[in-house]
Amino acid sequence: MVKEIKQKEENWNFQSKYGLKIEDMFNAGLHLGHIKSKWNPKMAPYVFTVRNGVRIIDLEKTIVRFEEILDFLKKSVSEGKKILFVGTRFQDKDIIKELAEKTGMPYVNNRWVGGLFTNFGIIVKRLKYFRDLENAKQKGDLGKYTKKERIMFDKELARLEKFMGGIKALEKCPDIIFIFDTIKDVYALREAKKSGSVVTAVVNTEANPARCDYFIPAGNNSFAALKYIAGKIEEVLKK
């Protein structure tokens, strides 16, 4: 397989402006789809072959789609638009948080915040309450309450930080959502589509690419693959 991938890259003339290389993506595991029985037929154009019961993604097509999504994200950020990064699986959490913090973008890496796109007015009120409560604690204004009440406030702040900490600074609905797994975070995808926001995502062989405006056909289960994808996005958005 490694020999085939290297030969493929040598025979291909595509030049990536973002330094995307088939061999690097292969080493990171972006070619690894799901088992043969677990797939969406709409991903057929992006499957190179099947090996040991696993669908192998065509990395030539991954590069083209990856390039498109990086172009779009770069242009959007230059226009002042906000990208909401979403990844609530165990393997996504830290990578999502790091990417968002380094690029100054909001994120959700725990449970999806229902209504974030479709009922943003309510979410804004919750975020204001969150910020006000946090400021009150920092200023010592909660000292006037009983010990029991202060403990309750601390628990409330911890809960809000866990589920809404990544969107604390949001004042308007995000323009774009980037989802690292559209199967796990399908509710986020549905809300974004319903609100008319642009959906960008990593799409593995079991997902439906037609639900996204821009997508990267790639394996998204390993830390290495996720780090590679997040790293390239970070490079582009920080330039």
Clarify whether residues 61 and 140 are in a common domain: no
Q: pTM for the full model?
A: 0.91
How many domains does the chain contain in total? Answer: 2
Predicted pLDDT of residue 29: 95
Whether 166 contacts 87, CB under 8 Å:
no
Whether 228 contacts 28, CB under 8 Å:
yes
Predicted pLDDT of residue 38: 85
Predicted pLDDT of residue 12: 57
Clarify whether residues 67 and 30 are in a common domain: yes
Q: What are the start-end ranges of the E strands in 131-173?
A: none
Q: What is the mean pLDDT of each successive set of 10 residues along the chain, which is 239 residues long?
A: 55 77 93 89 93 92 96 96 96 96 96 95 94 89 84 92 94 95 96 96 96 96 95 92
Clarify whether residues 110 and 139 are in a common domain: no
Largest CA distance in the chain: 72
Predicted pLDDT of residue 144: 85
* CATH for 141: 1.10.287.610
Clarify whether residues 107 and 128 are in a common domain: no
Predicted pLDDT of residue 110: 94
Alpha-carbon distance of 205 to 235, in angstroms, equals 26
